Chains A and B, each alone.
Chain A
């Protein structure tokens, strides 16, 4: 007797979020990214459609990163002090689908760059590349509430993705994104209840839920990755069963999390049994990325080009018929 597979019938799907706007749409991007829209659990194509493959953004800082290990700095050569050139290298050489500009230099402890300086950097990156942009504050709430609205205004019309809004500090960023037509990242600390709550708070301000992306906060491999995985899984199940306040695409900060691990950056000289860091670091990042792909990550923010290449290959193998050209410069 043939085994009859039990297939789920989901009633709802994940929202579709578009990042980037072309000239005709009021922006200047030469490509756009569409994320989400899944009608099934990750890659279970037999039970529903996954119209949009996951996309990879590469991270660019507005200052020379001072805690990136050599293995991570090496692929970027001499562009690390120029965000525009850095972004261009990520797109032209490493085929990033989006650029994630992290305005770390505006943090009071890391240079305290004023909002105007951040806006200048943003403008230079917008001019340097044609891919859509993700723009992150420094994590200092007070400063971000000055910097991000300024940047939002400067990028008006480009339909960027700004972040992060958190439960205790979401109003300023939401208002700015609402006014200037951008998408927003809603962040929660590996807590599905807070994730749902932040989405409600943001949409209570009149913000379109189809312009929200969830950052569930992930842990790297070895540092809580499974916990984040289980939260993403629960959220997806709820969304497919009709929970509109959890039906947003996911963004995962894979680079930021995985390169914190000593297993990623520790030199072989200190850990001879771990093998060369030139392989280990990118693999730590790639493994973290692939794992969260399987729990539904739609946008991966990554750092090392080798990891990016491995993950891109993996996505192409998972979705051979949905190979879209990620960037056209």
Chain B
């Protein structure tokens, strides 16, 4: 499974401070820690409070790339902020994200093509959160079709069925899992599925336990990628174990260590 580290986000207090103070060391340590813990990619988010988000994105991308070599996921609602990051990335980036709104897709899919980047597509539109599994599937189909029409390789698309907090909208957890199963039927090979994991436990108790339980369930039903906290060792262990149970890696007694040696 593709592990995308979520910690470089201006909404976290320490990161917000580091951004304000232009403290490179804090950002670079966070990047290195996540990569050492197993992140294959790092999500980069300026946070909404950042004064000049274009400049902050540039600074974050440059700072991180001085320290680690993994590809980056550029997390912003503003295309100009994403472009600022894309101009500086050394490896193939992921654009986080578009929705199923045609006006958004019309902007972001061409950007993805132009910069040879991947694209995350949220199965929702400006009208709000998707109602259930069916609505998520509908949005997914729209995104897939639009990508095909506009010539974006489906290999570069990740569909995100929009997780919601279990303490607020509890029925949605099941709807997301079923949506993953349904959406994977849309094409052969199936479209890649991704979740922003931590949202499942936002505001709830037992965040770590909820996160890793949901991740294991999602991997069982076909999840390909997650934006998550690689510094949560229990979470990473659950991910590795779920993959083992899905016959993705050969068992050995030290299977947790073996995964970390890759």
Contacts and interface: CB of A to CB of B under 8 A. Distances in A.
A310 interface: no
24 contacts: A193-B252, A194-B252, A195-B252, A196-B250, A196-B251, A196-B252, A196-B258, A197-B253, A197-B254, A200-B252, A200-B257, A200-B258, A200-B261, A203-B261, A234-B250, A235-B250, A238-B249, A238-B250, A242-B262, A243-B249, A243-B258, A244-B261, A245-B261, A246-B250
Contacts of B249: 238, 243
A107 B47 CA distance: 70
Interface residues of B, number: 10
Interface string A243-273: 1111000000000000000000000000000
Interface string B237-262: 00000000000011111100110011
Nearest to B255: A196
A234 B250 CA distance: 9
Interface of A: 192-197, 200-201, 203, 234-235, 238, 242-246
Contacts of A201: 254
Contacts of B258: 196, 200, 243, 245
Q: Give the most central of B251, B252, B261, B262: most A CB within 10 Å.
A: B252
B251 A193 contact: yes
A194 B258 CA distance: 13
Contacts of B251: 193, 196
Contacts, number: 35
Nearest to A192: B250
B249 to A, nearest CB: 7
A243 B251 CA distance: 11
Contacts of A246: 250
Contacts of A245: 252, 258, 261
Nearest to A209: B261
Given A196-B258, A238-B249, A238-B250, 14 more contacts: A192-B250, A193-B253, A194-B252, A196-B251, A197-B253, A197-B254, A200-B252, A200-B254, A200-B258, A242-B262, A243-B258, A244-B262, A245-B252, A245-B258
